[in-house]
A and B are shown apart, each in its own frame.
Chain A
Amino acid sequence: MEHALSLFVRTIFADNMVFAFFLGMCSFLAVSKDVKTSLGLGIAVIFVQTITLPINYLLQTQVLEPLGLGYLSFILFIAVIAAITQLVEMIVEKVSPSLYATLGIFLPLIAVNCAIMGGSLFMQQRVGLDPENVKAIANIGDAFAFAIGSGLGWLMAIVCLAGIREKMEYNDVPKPLQGIGITFITVGLMAMAFMCFSGLDI
Chain B
Amino acid sequence: MALAQKTKEAFLGPLNVNNPVLVQILGICSALAVTVQLKPALVMGISVTIIVALSNVVISLIRKSIPMRIRIIVQLVVVAALVTIVSEILKAFAYDVAMQLSVYIGLIITNCILMGRLEAFAMTNNVKDSLLDGLGNGFGYAIILVIVAFVRELLGSGKLLGFQIIPDSWYVANGGCYENCGMMLMPAMALILVGCVIWAHRSINEEKK
Contact = CB atoms under 8 A, between A and B. Distances in A.
Interface in A171-195: 174-177, 180-185, 187-189, 191-192, 195
Interface stretch (B83-91, B129-137, B138-146): B83-91
Contacts of B188: 19, 188-189, 191-192, 195
Interface string B56-88: 000000000000000011001100110110011
B73 A83 contact: yes
B25 interface: yes
B91 to A, nearest CB: 9
Contact of A118 (B73, B107, B203): B107
A112 B187 contact: no
Interface string B163-197: 00000000000000000000000111111101110
B111 interface: yes
B128 interface: no
Most buried by B among A19, A180, A182: A180
A22 interface: yes
Interface stretch (B2-10, B27-35, B152-160): B27-35
Interface residues of B, number: 42
Given A19-B187, A79-B76, A185-B195, A112 B110 contact: yes
B43 interface: no
Given A22-B33, A177-B202, A74 B195 contact: no
Contacts of B32: 22, 25
B103 A118 contact: yes
A142 to B, nearest CB: 18
B191 A114 contact: no
Contacts of A195: 186, 188
Most buried by A among B76, B186, B187: B187
14 contacts: A19-B187, A20-B187, A21-B187, A22-B29, A22-B190, A30-B25, A79-B76, A83-B73, A108-B72, A112-B115, A113-B110, A114-B110, A125-B102, A195-B186
Interface of A: 19-26, 29-30, 71-75, 78-79, 82-83, 86, 108, 111-114, 116-118, 121-122, 125, 174-177, 180-185, 187-189, 191-192, 195
Interface of B: 25-30, 32-33, 72-73, 76-77, 80-81, 83-84, 87-88, 102-103, 106-107, 109-112, 115, 186-192, 194-196, 198-199, 202-203, 206
Given A78-B110, A181-B196, A191-B186, 5 more contacts: A20-B187, A112-B110, A184-B195, A185-B192, A189-B188
